[in-house]
Structure 1
Amino acid sequence: MRVLAWHVHAAWMTSFVQGPHDYFVPVLPDRGPDGLGRAQTYDWPDSVREVTPEQVRTDEYDVVLLQRPSEVELFERWSGRSVGEHGVPAVYVEHNTPRGDVNDWIHPLAKRSDIPVVHVTEFNRSMWDNGVAPTVVVEHGVPDYGYRYTGELDTLVVSVNEPVRRWRVAGTDLVARIAEQVPVSVYGMKTDELTGRITSGLAGVDNLSQDELHDQMAKHFGYLHPYRWTSLGLSLIEAMTLGLPVLVLAATAAPEAVPAEAGVVSSDVELLGRTALRWLADPDEARETGQRAREHALQHFGLGRFLDDWERLLKEVAR
């Protein structure tokens, strides 16, 4: 099957393109948001090929995978064809939770019954008003990156891009509170902006490949997931797969994704901090908790299940 999909979320896309199809990702000279092309810091297979807007106009695709509202118009403008019932079959992946007042949480495709909306969590699906759009949930799936946990560093680790711009959404203010008790390292794009904003117990690290990031994360004794508002966060699942015990704010889909034996999920930030201190004093408990987190992640968020779910859905949409 020939699948056209914009490169929007590199971590999610890394799992998606492990399937058996040919994947085409638009590329523009400036590699801006509408044409990022292949990922530069993730390992994508050769079945992922870059295509220009001119090639999109002449090539044929079995399915178009949409991830942003603007891509409907973008594909039609580039290709001269429509998507949906009277054009190229399409499916829309909704990675994000809605914004604004709760009464305005109407999905951009809520009036279209010909394009399925695929949510990445049940939490996501229940937050959106999906209207007449058919919906399905395909939960995250990640490759097995291997058990890498060493816990040699007496610091927690957080993975978040743009932690200053996304201050409350990503829970960066909560990270600052916990950093007063336990040092925290933050990995991700634009973490350098934390300098001067948070002055104690926190360090930022930017510009790592996915493999380098995983190696570094696994050196910390625990993973902190402070997000207030997102569908779930792939970094949490990846951390569990690596064997880290996790401390998670009880928001988003996290309470359903993390069992009690894998860490602590709570809206009590002080409890998260106290648990971190306990794990520091008892590294055996931290290691055992991380091992159970890994077992759960592999069982519930394995790549095989994710690809099987997508294979069934793509075949159905293409028909």
Structure 2
Amino acid sequence: MNILFWHVHGSWSTAFVRGPHRYLVPVTPDRGPYGLGRARTYPWPDTVIEVPPEELATADVDVVVLQRPEELELATEWLGRRPGRDLPAIYVEHNTPKGDVPNTRHPMADRDDMVLVHVTHFNELFWDNGGTRTTVVEHGVVPPAAGYTGDLERFAVVTNEPVRRGRVTGTDLMPRFAEVAPLDVYGMGVDALPMALGPIGRRVTAYEDLAQGPMHERIARRRAYLHLCRWTSLGLSLIEAMTIGVPVIALGATEAARAIPDGAGVVSTRVDDLVAAARWLVAEPAAARELGERGRRVALDRYGLARFLDDWDRLLKEEMCGSR
């Protein structure tokens, strides 16, 4: 099967392209947001093919996987065919709704020409999908090569643009944990974070755009992983940390409670509870290892790559058969 999709989310795409298909990703000379091409910091197989927009009109495409509203118009223009009408289309929603929650209308609401795939049950519940068919394909991750040691009394955080996004990513909560142990923050747009946090920022180290493998190796040495997001979809970095065996401390918002069941990590909406857990894990490395191991087993079972690819393969085949 030849699947056209845009390179938008690195970790999700890295799992998605491990399936048994051929994946066509648009590439433009500037490698901008709608022509990023193949990943450079994630390992992708040779079945991922870069295709310039001008070649898509004659490309063999079986199904289009959309991830942003504007991709529908781009696909129609570049393919000369209408996704959902002339060939099957699937829209993947990665994000929590914004605006008038829980009444936020999804851009693909009330369509009869595609299926809307949410990556978490929370997202499917909170978006107003109208009459559009929906399903949930939960995340899957490529198992990281790193293994937990936790030998450094430091916390790991992975987030993008924490200064700009502020309360969304729980940036305002970071100083409380930095008082317990230093924070190492990884992601895009994190360079300005230490200065933005004021005096406590001296206990925060930022790592901008570190490749996935080296980042996993660093996270594996930190005592615990912090997931402080108030209103974001389930971060794949959280699942990756669990898969490594890093014990996780998470704000009890959006999908976190389902992703981290009792005994597999610490989840609460009371920040004092999370700070207390952070102190506990710093003081008790053996307990940290035990908690991380329970979380690792949960992550491998629920978010394993084989289950993710099987779910996607089944959905793709259903859509192909339904279009005939």
Q: Above 0.5 in TM-score?
A: yes
CA distance in 1, matches of 2:102, 2:296: 38
Query: How far 1:77 sits from its partner (Å)?
Result: 1.1
Provide the residue aligned with 1:264 in structure 2: 266
Letter in 2 for 1:250: G
Provide the residue aligned with 1:79 in structure 2: 79
CA distance in 1, matches of 2:175, 2:282: 18
Letter in 2 for 1:272: L
Letter in 1 for 2:82: S
Deviations 1:215-239 (A, max 9, x none): 0110100000001112211111000
> Where do residues 295-306 of structure 1 align in structure 2 (5 Å cutoff)?
295-306=297-308
> Where do residues 221-232 of structure 1 align in structure 2 (5 Å cutoff)?
221-232=223-234
Query: How far 1:182 sits from its partner (Å)?
Result: 2.5
Provide the residue aligned with 2:40 in structure 1: 40
> Where do residues 17-56 of structure 1 align in structure 2 (5 Å cutoff)?
17-56=17-56
Provide the residue aligned with 2:12 in structure 1: 12
Number of corresponding residues: 318
Question: What stretches of structure 1 of length at least 5 have no aligned partner?
Answer: none
Q: Root-mean-square deviation (CA), in Å?
A: 1.1
Match of 1:252 among 234, 254, 270: 254
Letter in 2 for 1:61: V
Query: How far 1:103 sits from its partner (Å)?
Result: 5.8
CA distance in 1, matches of 2:175, 2:89: 42
Deviations 1:224-283 (A, max 9, x none): 000111221111100000010000000010001102212110011121111111111110
Structure-2 change in CA distance of 1:124 and 1:103 (3 Å): closer
CA distance in 2, matches of 1:280, 1:181: 8
SS in 2 for 1:224: strand
Q: Is the 8 A contact 1:91 1:118 kept in 2?
A: yes
Identity level (%): 55
The alignment status of 1:123 with 2:125, answered yes or no, reads: no
CA distance in 2, matches of 1:207, 1:231: 20
Provide the residue aligned with 1:136 in structure 2: 135
Q: Is the 8 A contact 2:83 2:89 kept in 1?
A: yes
Provide the residue aligned with 1:219 in structure 2: 221
SS in 2 for 1:235: helix
Query: How far 1:178 sits from its partner (Å)?
Result: 1.9
SS in 2 for 1:293: helix
Q: Is the 8 A contact 2:146 2:217 kept in 1?
A: no
CA distance in 1, matches of 2:195, 2:313: 47
> Where do residues 52-131 of structure 1 align in structure 2 (5 Å cutoff)?
52-84=52-84, 86-102=85-101, 104-131=103-130
SS in 2 for 1:151: coil
Q: Is the 8 A contact 1:182 1:273 kept in 2?
A: no
CA distance in 2, matches of 1:231, 1:187: 18
Q: Is the 8 A contact 2:103 2:127 kept in 1?
A: no
Query: How far 1:169 sits from its partner (Å)?
Result: 0.9
Query: How far 1:207 sits from its partner (Å)?
Result: 2.3
Query: How far 1:81 sits from its partner (Å)?
Result: 1.0
> Where do residues 170-249 of structure 1 align in structure 2 (5 Å cutoff)?
170-198=169-197, 199-200=199-200, 201-249=203-251
Q: Is the 8 A contact 2:231 2:253 kept in 1?
A: yes
Provide the residue aligned with 1:315 in structure 2: 317
Letter in 2 for 1:32: G
SS in 2 for 1:72: helix
SS in 1 for 2:294: helix
Query: How far 1:163 sits from its partner (Å)?
Result: 1.0
CA distance in 1, matches of 2:194, 2:270: 26
Deviations 1:100-151 (A, max 9, x none): 1126411111021111000001100001000111000000011222451111
Q: Is the 8 A contact 1:120 1:137 kept in 2?
A: yes
CA distance in 2, matches of 1:41, 1:146: 15
Q: Is the 8 A contact 1:5 1:24 kept in 2?
A: yes
Q: Is the 8 A contact 2:102 2:127 kept in 1?
A: no
CA distance in 2, matches of 1:217, 1:103: 35
Provide the residue aligned with 2:162 in structure 1: 163
Question: What stretches of structure 2 of length at least 5 have no aligned partner?
Answer: none
Runs of 4+ displaced beyond 6 Å = none
